[in-house]
Amino acid sequence: MGIAYLCMYLFSSELLRGILYILIATFAFAWMNLLAKYLSEMHPLQVVFFRAFGTFAFIFPYMLYKKIPVVGKEVFWLSVRGVIGFISLAAFFMVIQRIPLGPAISIRYIGPAFSVVLAVLFLREKVKTLQWFCLLIAIAGVFILKGADFRIDEISFLLALLSAVLVGAVFTLVRYLGPKEHALTIINYFMIASILGSLFFIGHWRMPLGMEWTWVILIGIFGLIGQVFMTRAFQLADTNTIAPFKYMELVYALGLGLIFLDEEHSYMALFGMLLIIVGMVLNVYAKNGMQKPKEEN
């Protein structure tokens, strides 16, 4: 009975549920990336298609059922967000097929650093001096990682940086669209753009073989699970609390890569990844500030 009451207490707390949801989301995304690695013999844009279609097939009927706007009001910027997100995802899946999971995910994680720059230029947001210092820590980690891991070739490194820059652009656009559009409307544009963009490369596709059918189906399912639980986590808990747990995806990826792909990393490469995570997490706290408990009157 004691365990049952403890479980009831834990799940009645929105904060703890938010943390649980972000852990589930990052675990799902880690598995999705591992499966994309398994599909390295397929064209990366074909993998993007299955990732996007798996989510679209679930959320689009739900939007119709709940009468959530499909077109939205900011059609131009919604479309731009969709196209940029598609290119970023395509570049990321290309990188996953070329280099180990850990470095690929780590480099992409500096996307928020670029969103800070874009927010200053286009949204006229103010950036604290401490934020710039935190971002420099993360960027230093990227270059330490690149120098320590010789498996990261120049093309893969540039593709990973491109994906990160575009992730930053997506974050900026989502901040702009957030107060104006439903979250599922924004996600749906991303899925549609990814599906349509992928179809331009259909001439390079081939039919999945054997277990590949299982992998492509699971990519769509894990992508959907990650998307839903990530969104729900940020609805339940504040960004300061959730952000550190988001980087558990890298921990999962390192573990899965070691177990299933025999991917090992030098201490210096791991140090570079650690600097990226530390820099980006500290940036969140530097931006929002540590929340102080309310004082009683």
For the stretch 117-136, pLDDT in tens is 777 777 677 778 888 898 89
Within 10 A of 272 (CB to CB), how many other CB atoms are there?
26
Measured N-to-C along each axis, helices 154-177 and 111-122 cross at an angle, to the nearest 10 degrees, of: 50
pLDDT average, residue stretch 91-105:
94
- What is the residue extent of each domain of the chain? 16-288
Checking if the pLDDT of 250 tops 60, the result is yes
- Dist CA 216 CA 265 (whole Å): 28
Q: What pLDDT does 246 receive?
A: 82
Q: Residue for token digits 């959320």?
A: 59
Element (H, E) at 98: helix 75-98
Tokens 């491109």 appear where?
Answer: 162
In this model, does residue 77 exceed pLDDT 60?
yes
**276: Cα separation from own chain's centroid:** 15
pLDDT of residue 118: 78
What pLDDT score does 114 carry?
80
Q: What is the mean pLDDT of residues 215-221?
A: 92
Q: Say yes or no to pLDDT of 47 above 60.
A: yes
* Amino acid type, 213: W
Closest CA to 272 of 287, 256, 252, 250: 250
Mean predicted lDDT score pLDDT of the chain: 86
Does pLDDT of 264 surpass 90?
Answer: yes
What confidence score (pLDDT) does residue 12 get?
Answer: 53
| Per-residue pLDDT at 272 | 94
Report helix, strand and coil shares of the chain as percent, to nearest 5. 80, 0, 20
Q: Which of 133-137, 173-177, 198-202 has the highest mean pLDDT?
A: 198-202
Contact of 189 with 75, CB cutoff 8 Å: no
Give the pLDDT score at 290.
Answer: 43
This prediction's pTM: 0.86
Percent of the chain with pLDDT over 90: 58
Average pLDDT over residues 174-183: 86
